[in-house]
């Protein structure tokens, strides 16, 4: 017993000392950072390098870490919410002369780039400049750049415009070699529910190829149409040059074809910015990043009446969630808090999700239904609002989406691995079981499902799909047979979803908020975000800081290959019936 208390005391003392050390370090860093004040001087230029994975809203711990210089001083981790707020505020800030976009790539979806373009165009209406430069520019960066005034690349650089593609990783051959069988149950006629195809096919099915072709053509048409409107280059000519990679390997072609405005070195760009900002050639430009500007930008004055903005971001799972995962408990609590807050007069839920657990989706939907009964509940779809993401959205009073939002995917599936041969024959493990009931060992990976178990699962999945289509029929005022015809797991762009009756209007988060204000008869209001984010100190105290930074490290090291790791992770951790849409759009 003496030894027990000895070790317990030592453990508690160690934890206490660690806590004190962390607090001292944090206080020292805060003290040192306070000496480096950020000021918005006259003729300041807002600098945006968006070559990172842009979250829907700034993650509190990343914001704090950036300001405390725990990260590289050149790293900007501002979320889409702060980037847009910066652009909108800078439009009327007399000290901001313009925006300098230095873009090699943009770490977000085409749908979110559409929203950024809208705000940049609005910023230019103030008469201020937006100039873009890069040594090499990916086409998603170029798409954003075309919302500005002038575009430049390095004389030896490239403008990589080649169209869009979708790439899917198939596991069938690997699973065959390992003697692992994935037992799959899909909803009736869910031929477009391609999430399970990698388990039993080595290439796309005809149905999946059909839907992907439709999706990509719809998205690409939106992109080239916007480029045509901004730069005056015909859609036909854009496609011709994309087909033969003419722009990718010769920067002069990009200039000759009017895709860009000049071939400049960086010192020439600095000189051009000084000219546009009316800064003396001998003086330095006062540059502020998004994170820096967000730290000094005045917060909107709090008003008595509020609109809640609920961020539903990531895969839908049972239990607790975070900034990158929608947990049924966490999001339900956020919706409930917004509903019960008497100062909140309307709710906007920003959905950016490819789906996930069908059960968790239904738990969240119920909270949406309860909230909608008391106050206007508006949906703003971001990059994705598909499958489970559509499930939680369908109950809203009014649904906004961007033309290139990926939505629909009304379908469900279940997967149950059978590793009997792998365990028995590959690594020599055998198993025996004693059970009290016929199906007491249901769900074990050491034996295949019995015909009865498969039949029961098929019935359950079929019922879940029926519930899904009935839900959409009820909430959207459609016939269930029609919902089934456009469902079956098929993914649609926001533009197509509008024609099909799955969404109500094209527009971003700002339009959804405006609509919510009108629905609640509000003219003077402020916004309140949900769920509440954890601070860096909270995460340090809980010991939860490793995962987000481990993921950030993987993203930095693996680059575009990180998406393959994430796809495998998402597929392998699913449990139960899923409403999920996992595929990759390559831009």
- The one catalytic residue in 109, 328, 361, 387 is 387
Residue 357 C-beta-side C-alpha neighbours within 13 Å: 21
For residue 423 the two structure tokens come to 């365990």
For residue 401, list its beta bridge partners.
506
- 575-354-392-211 Cα dihedral, nearest 10 degrees: -110
Paired sense of beta strands 377-386 and 406-408, if any:
parallel
Instruction: For Cα atoms 279, 282, 286, give the angle at the middle one, nearest 5 degrees.
Output: 50
CB 408 within 8 A of CB 390: yes
193 catalytic, yes or no?
yes
- The one catalytic residue in 91, 193, 274, 528 is 193
What is the maximal distance between C-alpha atoms in the chain?
A: 86
3-class SS of residue 44: strand
E strands, 314-391, where?
Answer: 315-317, 325-327, 344-353, 355-357, 377-386
* 489 Cβ contact list (under 8 Å, min separation 6): 186, 187, 190, 191, 192, 193, 194, 195, 387, 409, 410, 411, 413
Q: Rounded CA gap, 372 and 117, in Å? A: 31
535 catalytic, yes or no?
no
3-class SS of residue 375: coil
Helix axes 451-476, 358-372, angle to 10 degrees: 20
| 387 phi-psi bin (left φ>0, alpha ψ -120 to 50, beta other) | left
Q: Rounded CA gap, 275 and 278, in Å? A: 5
CB 205 within 8 A of CB 194: yes
Paired sense of beta strands 306-313 and 315-317, if any:
unpaired
Q: Which of 426, 420, 414, 425 is nearest to 445 (CA)?
A: 420
* 88 Cβ contact list (under 8 Å, min separation 6): 119, 122, 123
For residue 410 the two structure tokens come to 């009304």
CB 77 within 8 A of CB 52: yes
Q: Rounded CA gap, 105 and 145, in Å? A: 10
CB neighbours (10 Å) of residue 402?
29
* 446 Cβ contact list (under 8 Å, min separation 6): 419, 420, 423, 431
DSSP letters, 380-416, are EEEEEEETHHHHHHTTSSEEEE-TT-EEE----EEEE
Using only C-alpha atoms, what is the Rg of the chain?
A: 26
CB 167 within 8 A of CB 276: no
Residue 198 C-beta-side C-alpha neighbours within 13 Å: 16
What are the catalytic residues? Answer: 193, 387
């Amino acid at each position: 017993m003496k030894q027990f208390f000895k070790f317990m005391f030592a453990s508690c003392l160690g934890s206490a000392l660690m806590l004190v050390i962390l607090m001292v370090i944090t206080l020292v860093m805060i003290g040192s950072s306070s000496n480096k004040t950020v000021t918005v001087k006259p003729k300041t230029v807002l600098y945006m390098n968006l070559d990172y994975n842009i979250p829907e809203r700034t993650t509190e711990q990343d914001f704090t870490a950036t300001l405390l210089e725990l990260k590289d001083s050149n790293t900007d981790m501002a979320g889409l919410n702060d980037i847009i707020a910066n652009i909108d505020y800078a439009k009327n800030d007399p000290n901001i002369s313009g925006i300098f976009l230095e873009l090699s790539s943009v770490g977000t979806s085409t749908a979110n780039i559409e929203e950024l373009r809208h705000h940049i165009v609005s910023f230019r209406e103030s008469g201020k400049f937006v100039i873009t430069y890069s040594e090499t520019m990916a086409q998603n960066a170029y798409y954003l750049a075309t919302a500005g005034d002038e575009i430049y690349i390095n004389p030896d650089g490239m403008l990589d415009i080649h169209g869009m593609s979708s790439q899917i990783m198939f596991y069938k051959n690997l699973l065959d070699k390992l003697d692992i069988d994935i037992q799959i149950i899909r909803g009736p006629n869910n031929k477009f529910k391609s999430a399970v195809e990698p388990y039993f096919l080595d290439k796309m099915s005809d149905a999946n190829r059909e839907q992907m072709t439709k999706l990509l053509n719809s998205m690409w048409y939106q992109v080239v149409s916007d480029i045509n409107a901004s730069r005056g280059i015909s859609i036909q000519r854009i496609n011709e040059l994309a087909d033969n990679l003419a722009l990718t390997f010769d920067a002069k072609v990009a200039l000759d074809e009017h895709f860009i405005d000049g071939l400049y070195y960086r010192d020439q760009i600095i000189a051009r910015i000084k000219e546009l900002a009316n800064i003396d050639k001998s003086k330095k430009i006062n540059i502020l990043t998004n994170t820096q500007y967000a730290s000094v930008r005045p917060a909107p004055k709090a008003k008595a009446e509020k609109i809640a903005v609920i961020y539903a971001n990531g895969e839908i799972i049972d239990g607790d969630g975070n900034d990158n995962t929608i947990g049924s408990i966490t999001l339900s609590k956020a919706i409930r808090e917004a509903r019960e807050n008497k100062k909140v007069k309307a709710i906007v839920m920003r959905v950016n999700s490819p789906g996930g657990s069908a059960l968790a989706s239904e738990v969240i939907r119920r909270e949406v239904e309860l909230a909608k009964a008391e106050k206007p509940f508006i949906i703003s779809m971001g990059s994705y609002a598909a499958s489970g993401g559509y499930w939680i959205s369908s109950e809203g009073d009014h649904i906004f989406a961007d033309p290139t939002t990926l939505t629909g995917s009304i379908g469900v599936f279940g997967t149950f691995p059978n590793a009997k041969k792998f365990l028995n024959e590959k690594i020599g493990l055998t198993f025996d079981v004693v059970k009290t009931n016929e199906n007491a060992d249901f769900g074990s990976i050491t034996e295949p499902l019995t015909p009865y178990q498969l039949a029961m699962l098929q019935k359950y999945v079929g019922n879940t799909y029926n519930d899904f289509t009935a839900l959409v029929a009820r909430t959207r005022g459609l016939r269930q047979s029609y919902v089934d015809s456009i469902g079956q797991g098929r993914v649609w762009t926001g533009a197509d979803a509008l024609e099909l009756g799955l969404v109500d209007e094209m527009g971003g988060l700002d339009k959804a908020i405006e609509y919510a204000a009108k629905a609640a008869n509000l003219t003077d209001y402020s916004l309140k975000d949900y769920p509440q984010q954890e601070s860096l100190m909270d995460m340090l105290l809980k010991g939860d800081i490793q995962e987000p930074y481990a993921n950030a490290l993987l993203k930095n090291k693996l680059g575009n290959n990180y998406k393959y790791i994430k796809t495998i992770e998402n597929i392998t951790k699913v449990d139960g019936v899923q409403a999920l849409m996992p595929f990759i759009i390559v831009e």
